């Protein structure tokens, strides 16, 4: 089957089944989601044992997808957001148990005074969207977004349940991080992890490397719609709009517009897989890593139609089992992208693609790849 599609990259001996699964996603994808372009990278103990890519970076099929192509991964960037917050905890600049209002007093309005950083990162703050109608262009005015969210009453009692914050959590976490560290998450990512091809806020000089995305043909399934889900996903102002893709790429939205490569994501998640280390450099101590990955809340999510175990910004594999069979951690993004880490195997992996599916979690294409990967271990 690998002869039917031009696949590039490396695949270590013993992982041939992963290459076959990668090729099959182009020719016989589950649910008819044949790939337009994709990349899948696996790093074990710091070594890239699988790094495969293929397809076209543009919908006209004139520009090959290469190892330098950047892909928008939407909410998969929340995994990087979680790791960046953990670095601030490691540096003693933030404590997961401190209140957000202790760093940002205005946030304590309307019953949010006791919301902790850990609760914010695990989607328990009750701010999955705006409670009043807004224009989609508001997202390009970060101070306006922050002022509204700081003044807004939570949509449920904070700390009692999770309710996925698709976009708002990125603005909120970035503001906490900025107030604690003096830098934005986008700045810190480029300064502290400059060897990883990951960007929160993509400079216009890099836009030529960004692949064109093919939007899904159907909306994601959210179950029974209520005002909370409506605000999170379905209101006219639930997502950025009205300014074009150039302005959207340039904005720093850690929860929604990270651009990068699968290898960069897999290497970043290697911090979780390898006891807090990246390429021999200690990034997180064992204590901070435990705080990042331990369960913060487990139960039916108020926005996503799943029962989810949330860590401090990462999804835990407990129950969902969308990151393979192990005790893994990670995040999915709208349309199918995924990044994960399995400390028991010292393994991290990431999948990016340009053809989006309606899946918010557990796209069948990366799940096929993970099944082949674990079968090869």
Q: What's the pLDDT tens digit per position in 28-75? A: 988 889 999 999 999 999 999 999 999 999 999 999 999 999 999 999
Which pLDDT belongs to residue 133? 92
Give all strands of the β-sheet with 258-260 in edge-to-edge order: 71-72, 258-260, 198-200
Q: What is the pLDDT of residues 100-124, one digit of tens each?
A: 999 999 999 999 999 999 999 999 9
pLDDT band, very low/low/confident/very high, at 4 (cuts 50, 70, 90): low
The answer to whether residue 209 scores a pLDDT higher than 90 is: yes
Q: What is the pLDDT of residues 167-187, one digit of tens each?
A: 999 999 999 999 999 999 999
β-bridge mates for residue 211, sequence order: none
The answer to whether residue 5 scores a pLDDT higher than 80 is: no
The answer to whether residue 362 scores a pLDDT higher than 90 is: yes
Question: Smallest Cα–Cα separation from 248: which of 137, 135, 94, 365?
Answer: 137
Give all strands of the β-sheet with 338-342 in edge-to-edge order: 7-11, 47-55, 37-44, 347-353, 338-342, 329-332, 315-316, 307-310, 297-300
Q: How many CB atoms lie within 10 A of CB 183?
A: 16
Percentage of the chain lying above the pLDDT 90 cut: 95
Distance (Å, whole) CA 56 – CA 70 = 12
Which pLDDT belongs to residue 2? 44
The answer to whether residue 220 scores a pLDDT higher than 90 is: no
pTM to 2 decimal places? 0.97
Region 290-314 average pLDDT:
98
Distance (Å, whole) CA 210 – CA 195 = 18
* Helix H or strand E encompassing 42: strand 37-44
pLDDT band, very low/low/confident/very high, at 217 (cuts 50, 70, 90): confident
The answer to whether residue 12 scores a pLDDT higher than 50 is: yes
Count of alpha carbons within 13 angstroms of residue 110, beta-carbon side: 16
């Amino acid at each position: 089957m690998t002869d039917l599609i031009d696949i590039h990259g490396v695949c270590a001996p013993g992982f041939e089944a992963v290459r076959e699964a990668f090729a099959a996603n182009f020719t016989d994808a589950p649910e008819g989601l044949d790939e337009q372009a994709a990349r899948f990278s696996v790093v074990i103990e710091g070594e890239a044992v699988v790094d495969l890519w293929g397809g076209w970076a543009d919908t006209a099929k004139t520009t090959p997808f290469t190892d330098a192509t950047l892909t928008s991964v939407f909410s998969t960037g929340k995994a990087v957001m979680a790791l960046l917050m953990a670095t601030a905890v490691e540096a003693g600049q933030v404590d997961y148990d401190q209140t957000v209002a202790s760093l940002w007093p205005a946030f304590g309005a309307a019953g949010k005074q006791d919301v902790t950083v850990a609760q914010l990162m695990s989607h328990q703050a009750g701010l999955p969207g705006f409670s009043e109608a807004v224009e989609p262009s508001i997202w390009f005015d970060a101070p306006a977004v922050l002022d509204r969210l700081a003044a807004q009453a939570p949509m449920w009692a904070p700390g009692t349940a999770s309710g996925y914050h698709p976009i708002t959590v990125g603005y909120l976490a970035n503001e906490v991080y900025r107030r604690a560290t003096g830098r934005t998450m986008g700045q810190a990512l480029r300064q502290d992890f400059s060897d990883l091809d990951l960007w929160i806020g993509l400079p216009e000089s890099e836009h030529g490397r960004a692949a064109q995305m093919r939007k899904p043909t159907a909306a994601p399934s959210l179950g029974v719609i209520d005002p909370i889900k409506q605000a999170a996903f379905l209101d006219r102002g639930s997502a950025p709009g009205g300014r074009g893709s150039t302005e959207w790429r340039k904005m720093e939205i850690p929860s929604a517009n990270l651009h990068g490569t699968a290898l960069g994501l897999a290497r970043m998640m290697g911090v979780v897989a390898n006891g807090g280390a990246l390429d021999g450099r200690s990034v997180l101590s064992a204590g901070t890593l435990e705080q990042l990955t331990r369960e913060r809340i487990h139960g039916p999510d108020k926005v996503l139609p799943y029962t989810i175990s949330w860590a401090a910004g990462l999804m835990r594999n407990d129950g969902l089992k969308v990151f393979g069979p192990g005790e893994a951690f990670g995040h999915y993004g709208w349309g199918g992208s995924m990044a994960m880490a399995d400390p028991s195997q010292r393994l991290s992996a990431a999948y990016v693609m340009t053809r989006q599916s309606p899946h918010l979690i557990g796209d069948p294409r990366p799940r096929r790849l993970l099944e082949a990967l674990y079968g090869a271990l």
